[in-house]
Amino acid sequence: MSNVVMQTRIRLARNLRKYPFPCRLSQAGKNEVVETIVSAIKNSNSPLANDFDVLYVKDLTEAQRISLVEAHLASPEFISDSAGRAIVLSKDREMSIMINEEDHIRLQILKKGFDLDGAYDVADKLDTLLDENLDFAYDEKLGYLTQCPTNLGTGMRASVMLHLPALQRSKAVSRIAGNLQKLGLTIRGTYGEGSEPQGAMYQLSNQVTLGISEQAAIDNLKNITAQLINQEENAQKRMADSIETQDRIARSLGILKSARLISRDEAMDLLSNVRFGINTGLIEDVEIQVIDKLISDIQPATMIVNKKENLTPSQRDQLRAEHIREVLR
Amino acid sequence: MKCQKCGKNNADTHIKRVVNGQFEEHHLCSECAAEMGYTNVFDSFSHSFADDFNSLFGSFFENALPARTQATRCETCGASYNDITRTGMMGCADCYKVFADQIMPTIRRIHGNTTHCGKNSPASKAQPAEKAPAQNTKSELDVLKEKLDSAIKNQEFEQAAELRDKIREMEGE
Ligand SMILES: [Zn+2]
Ligand SMILES: [Zn+2]
């Protein structure tokens, strides 16, 4: 089983027929939408019904808001405004619903590894159960109606987070990206932008939502992802034979195990190298899940939220180094 | 609004992002955005689709729009067509009916077709029309889809893109 895909996400955009879209909805209307959706979840026959938290953006600290983005539960757009916005989260954070982001509902299923069918299945069931209690804006010809026409139709964005250190290093990602676009997909850096995003982590997702069924869009994404996995695995194998790569990977693990201060940027690069090392068998005594957990733990706002106190950047770097040493010992 | 980076061009790209624990907002012109790496290939996680849509929309209708329609407003939400092109956002579900004529070409440009295919909202009692394309059209479509699958498997991306266009065209009709 390949480790190239770190996580899978399905997002569905839905709106309530009765209310204008968020861009033309009053403050009172937005609050009503939040209450309507929350009570529909409570009364639904879904696994979410008895087991969720509702966070109102206005009640959250800056660090808490940003940590939601770092954990891929909310978008930067969602936290850019606090009025009438709330997020519903299952206890395990696999299911989440942003309320009044660009649409009334942005339902998300987040799964570890490569599991598009599994994630869609959960999203589809939850959506169907919510539909029983909420009247969604839907048109026979245009499908689910969304505030921005780019999401019309299925309203579905399926995406996989890929770790592509070898393709990035060999400058192949930008070449591939041009072709992906022709196939109705986009690829972007998960952390940071530009042609070499941090940690070599990329988000690959479908772009077209109208005129292509959920299943066809998922199959398309699955096929292309399988191709990318293949290319990345081959490139990794070739690179792993070189002494320069072996040296870089061994040093990366060495620094992580001994540093006393480490910035997020440096840690991301080194963890990415170690992940590459584990995947190619150059590192045998560290589990890849441990590295993936570290990647989410060391994000700055997430650290502040977990520590429950404000940290200066240098305190953060110290705490980050300590935490990594502890985990890798 | 002028671009926050060069101060010269109009800002048409609104970027919201989280960088190293900080929330940032930038209003940039498309050139500066591209320079910072926000090209359509590597645009940020947060780059709003609405902005793409907005510029797409603006250029498409610049001269083509009869003055009369600019005065029309959606009775449900009060949005005018001008509001929609300015923000890149529809005001409500009814806007899609009120401004259908103006917006269809744009929808076609974004998605390559204008007909939904996929899940029906169960509550909208819809079910009947789900699978009724003419038999011969369907098999031709299946053949194309098989070709597309094999093109993708063989990494013939150029050919796959062409096939995809054809499939979209057929499905859109
Ligand atoms: Zn500029
Ligand atoms: Zn309207």
Say whether A138 and B120 touch across the interface (CB within 8 A).
yes
Q: In chain A, which residue's Cα lies nearest the Cα of B171? A: A211
Distance between B27 CA and the closest CA of chain A, angstroms: 14
CA of B36 to the centre of ligand 1 (A): 10
List of residues 6+ apart from A143 with CB closer than 8 A: A152, A153, A154, A155, A209, A210, B116, B117, B118, B119
pLDDT of residue A48: 83
Task: Using the predicted structure, report yes or no on whether residue B96 has a pLDDT greater than 60.
Answer: yes
Alpha-carbon distance of B25 to A251, in angstroms, equals 37
CA of B90 to the centre of ligand 2 (A): 7
Contact between A14 and A107 under an 8 Å Cβ cutoff? The reply is yes
Mean of the per-residue pLDDT values of chain B: 72
Alpha-carbon distance of B64 to B85, in angstroms, equals 13
Distance between B67 CA and the closest CA of chain A, angstroms: 23
Q: Chain B window 56-75: which residues touch A at a Cβ cutoff of 8 Å?
A: none
* A196 interfaces chain B, CB cutoff of 8 Å: no
Distance between A268 CA and the closest CA of chain B, angstroms: 11
pLDDT of residue B135: 38
Count the neighbouring beta carbons within 10 Å of the beta carbon of residue A39: 12
Alpha-carbon distance of A30 to A19, in angstroms, equals 9
CA atoms within 13 A on the CB side of B100: 9
pLDDT of residue B31: 80
Extract the tokens encoding A307. Answer: 């520590």
CA of A96 to the centre of ligand 2 (A): 28
Distance between B130 CA and the closest CA of chain A, angstroms: 10
CA of B11 to the centre of ligand 1 (A): 7
Distance between A255 CA and the closest CA of chain B, angstroms: 21
Q: Map A262-275 to HEC letters.
A: CCHHHHHHHHHHHH
Nearest to A188 among B44, B77, B107 (CB): B44
**Averaged pLDDT, groups of 10, chain A, 329 residues long:** 92 97 96 96 85 94 95 94 95 96 97 97 95 93 95 97 95 84 86 76 94 96 95 96 97 98 96 97 96 95 91 93 96
Alpha helix stretches (DSSP H) within B23-134: 30-35, 49-61, 67-71, 81-87, 95-98, 100-111
* B172 interfaces chain A, CB cutoff of 8 Å: yes
Write the CA distances from A303 to A81, A142, A233, A271, A312, integer angstroms.
23, 43, 32, 17, 11
Q: Chain B window 88-147: which residues touch A at a Cβ cutoff of 8 Å?
A: 88-93, 96, 103, 106-107, 110-124, 126, 129
Alpha-carbon distance of A16 to A37, in angstroms, equals 9
Element (H, E) at A133: helix A116-133
* A47 interfaces chain B, CB cutoff of 8 Å: no
Extract the tokens encoding B31. Answer: 């050139």
Alpha-carbon dihedral angle through residues A281, A282, A287, A288, given to the nearest 10 degrees: -80
Residue numbers in B near A299 (CB within 8 A): 21
Write the CA distances from A287 to A64, A70, A92, A284, integer angstroms.
29, 22, 21, 8
Alpha-carbon distance of B89 to B25, in angstroms, equals 19
Task: Using the predicted structure, report yes or no on whether residue B9 has a pLDDT greater than 70.
Answer: yes
pLDDT, one tens digit per residue, over B21-46 is 888 888 888 788 777 655 432 233 23
Q: In chain B, which residue's Cα lies nearest the Cα of A124? A: B119
The CA-CA-CA angle for residues A155, A160, A164, to 5°, reads 150
pLDDT, one tens digit per residue, over B53-68 is 445 554 444 444 454 4
Say whether B106 and A75 touch across the interface (CB within 8 A).
no
Extract the tokens encoding B128. Answer: 């009947």
| Phi and psi angles of residue A205, each rounded to the nearest 5 degrees, phi first | -145, 165
Q: Chain A window 127-166: which residues touch B at a Cβ cutoff of 8 Å?
A: 127-128, 131-132, 134-154, 156
List of residues 6+ apart from B6 with CB closer than 8 A: B29, B31, B32
| Phi and psi angles of residue A19, each rounded to the nearest 5 degrees, phi first | -115, 150
pLDDT of residue B110: 86
Write the CA distances from B42 to A70, A151, B88, integer angstroms.
19, 19, 21
pLDDT of residue B46: 31
pLDDT of residue B123: 59
| Phi and psi angles of residue A144, each rounded to the nearest 5 degrees, phi first | -70, 130
* A175-190 b/e (C-beta count within 10 Å ≥ 16 → b): ebbebbbebbbbbbbb
Residue numbers in A near B37 (CB within 8 A): 193-195
pLDDT of residue B40: 35
Packing angle between helix A313-328 and helix A300-307, nearest 10 degrees? 80
Which residues lie across from A66 on neighbouring strands? Answer: none
The CA-CA-CA angle for residues B24, A9, A80, to 5°, reads 20
Alpha-carbon distance of A292 to A163, in angstroms, equals 11
Alpha-carbon distance of A232 to A240, in angstroms, equals 12
pLDDT of residue B114: 93
pLDDT of residue A122: 96
Q: Which of A64, A141, A148, A298 to mutate to test the interface with B (most CBs of B within 10 A)?
A: A148
ipTM of this complex: 0.88
Nearest to A174 among B41, B149, B157 (CB): B41
Say whether A80 and B36 touch across the interface (CB within 8 A).
no
Alpha-carbon distance of A161 to A112, in angstroms, equals 10
